[in-house]
Amino acid sequence: MIADHNISQPEQGLVKVIFDLSKDNGPNATESLWADRVGDSTFRLRNVPVFAYGFSEQDVVKVEERDGSLFVTGAEARGGHSTYRIYLPTDTTDEKFALDWKPLENLGCTYERANRRIIAIDVPPSADVYAVYAVLENGEKDGRWEFGEGHCGHALRPQTSRET
């Protein structure tokens, strides 16, 4: 059994789980996310991954304890959320972003900022992921941001003969 850790918010029952990103050659070696325990070695993610790919908020992850920290080893169950990232131009103001964000907010999305330019978007299962993707594409086409997909947890609709 994995012990409780000092990197926790006991009043909310949350602990930090760590994603090892060293193999991705990105800007960060690790990313930690809040999670709540659902089993001996399984935890549900409670916020949006910014740098870890292949995971979304509400996914249940498997962890192993190493040196007193909980490291994610894989996904146990999916929560139905999707994760996208937008990369804002350096001249984007908070006021401009608030206006550009409104269509995504209206579709039910939320976000967490890694910094002024990098934003992780949570798309809940109730949101139309195709409509969200269209807003993201339009924003990129219009130069408001660049975007990337971190994980698509939504069920995709089958392609029709017109789409192939």
**Positions of CATH 3.30.70.100 in the chain:** 82-151
68 φ/ψ sector (left φ>0, alpha ψ -120 to 50, else beta): left
Position 28 scores a pLDDT of 73
pTM: 0.84
Write the pLDDT tens digit of every residue in 53-92. 999 999 999 999 998 999 999 999 999 999 999 999 999 9
Rounded distance between C-alpha atoms, residue 44 and residue 33, angstroms: 10
The CA R_g of the chain, rounded to the nearest whole Å, is: 17
Write the pLDDT tens digit of every residue in 19-55. 999 876 566 789 999 999 999 999 999 999 999 999 9
Dihedral sign (CA 3, 37, 153, 124): negative
What's the distance, CA 7 to chain centroid?
A: 20
Cα angle 19, 21, 27 (rounded to 5 degrees) comes to: 125
**Average pLDDT score over the chain:** 89
- Please name which of 101, 109, 102 lies closest in space to residue 83, comparing C-alpha atoms: 109
Task: Tell me yes or no: is domain 82-151 CATH 3.30.70.20.
Answer: no
Q: Residue 158: exposed, middle, or buried by beta-carbon count in 10 A (0-12, 13-18, 19+)?
A: exposed
